[in-house]
């Protein structure tokens, strides 16, 4: 007896119930750009349809959740919509949005793990900063906190693992590395990522449209700035 009510949709895609109010579409089981582009295309397609009864569409690394109101929409209808969208071609790379520039001050006074990351990877602070700022990153998904973007792929030369025990407080704007992922803390919070710098940018403000600076499927470039530039831009007054 199949308890999981899994519907396969070819290409190793599985569609299954996520409880009685959501459907989970799994497009893969790994973090890779090709899978994530299909995630983004499916989530975008579902959001564009703006179906009555769909309460939320949530893209993750390799899966999409569709939260629905069972009083207005049956699970079979949701599954049918997903299957129809999966048959459509994924937009080519040229359709993606331009990269967002995120200014970062790579200074040990703002990046408490910068010196230890440099020594662990046998590089200078300047080299760590140059490698981190030298790539264009993809926003795989948002989560953890409003506006927190999980981005990749971090150059293997500086891909240090997260702290075994999270810090009690990481400052808003902190830029961190966790293995092949990089991210920016939108507000003060506990956190375990290796903090190598800080941005003066406010990444999430519910009063602004859009509220989040970064969005799933987008791309990001980190632009190094000096401590002086950081202080001039940061309304919080820095460290």
Sequence-distant (≥ 6) Cβ neighbours of residue 91 within 8 angstroms: 41
Stretch that binds other proteins, among 61-69, 101-109, 192-200, 218-226 (CB under 8 A): 61-69
Question: Contacting other proteins (CB under 8 A), which of 30, 89, 94, 122?
Answer: 30
Helix, strand, coil in percent for the chain, rounding step 5: 25, 30, 45
Stretch that binds other proteins, among 11-19, 89-97, 160-168, 231-239 (CB under 8 A): 11-19
Question: Is residue 195 exposed (0-12), middle (13-18) or buried (19+ Cβ within 10 Å)?
Answer: buried
| Dist CA 205 CA 211 (whole Å) | 5
Nearer to other proteins, 62 or 86 (CB): 62
Q: How far is the CB of 119 from other proteins (least distance, A)?
A: 26
Stretch that binds other proteins, among 51-59, 120-128, 129-137, 152-160 (CB under 8 A): 51-59
User: DSSP string of 8-19?
Assistant: E-STT-EEEE-T
Q: Contact 170/188 with Cβ under 8 angstroms?
A: yes
Which residues, numbered 193-222, are part of the site for other proteins (CB under 8 A)? 204, 206, 210-212, 215-216
Which residues, numbered 136-175, are part of the site for other proteins (CB under 8 A)? 141-150
| Dist CA 154 CA 159 (whole Å) | 6
Which residues, numbered 79-118, are part of the site for other proteins (CB under 8 A)? none
Judged by CB under 8 A, the number of residues near other proteins is 51
Question: Contacting other proteins (CB under 8 A), which of 7, 58, 154, 195?
Answer: 58
Nearer to other proteins, 21 or 116 (CB): 21
Nearer to other proteins, 6 or 115 (CB): 6
In DSSP terms, which residues pair with 197 in a beta bridge? 175
Residue with structure tokens 């990089």?
182
Residue 86 has φ and ψ, to the nearest 5°, of -65, -20
Binding interface with other proteins (CB under 8 A): 3-5, 16-22, 24, 26, 29-31, 43, 47, 55-65, 67, 70-71, 75, 141-150, 187, 189, 204, 206, 210-212, 215-216
């Amino acid at each position: 007896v199949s308890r999981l009510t899994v519907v396969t949709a070819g290409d190793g895609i599985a569609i299954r119930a996520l409880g009685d109010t959501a459907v989970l579409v799994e497009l893969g089981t790994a973090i890779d750009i090709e899978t994530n582009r299909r995630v983004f295309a499916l989530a975008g397609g579902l959001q564009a349809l703006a179906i009555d009864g769909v309460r939320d569409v949530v893209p993750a690394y390799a899966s999409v959740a569709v939260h629905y109101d069972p009083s207005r929409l049956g699970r079979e209808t949701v599954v049918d919509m997903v299957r129809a969208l999966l048959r459509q071609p994924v937009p080519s790379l040229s359709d993606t949005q331009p990269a967002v520039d995120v200014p970062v001050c790579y200074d040990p006074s703002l990046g408490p793990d910068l010196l230890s990351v440099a020594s662990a990877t046998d590089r200078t602070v300047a080299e760590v900063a140059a490698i981190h700022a030298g790539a264009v990153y993809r926003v795989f998904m948002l989560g953890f906190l409003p506006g927190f973007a999980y981005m990749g792929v971090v150059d293997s030369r500086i891909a240090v693992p997260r702290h075994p025990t999270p810090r009690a407080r990481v400052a808003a704007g902190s830029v961190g590395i966790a293995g092949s992922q990089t991210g920016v803390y939108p507000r003060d919070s506990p956190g375990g990522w290796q903090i190598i710098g800080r941005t003066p940018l406010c990444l999430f403000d519910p009063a602004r449209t859009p509220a989040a600076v970064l969005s799933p499927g987008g791309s990001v470039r980190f632009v190094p700035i000096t401590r002086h530039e950081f202080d001039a831009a940061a309304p919080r007054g820095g460290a």
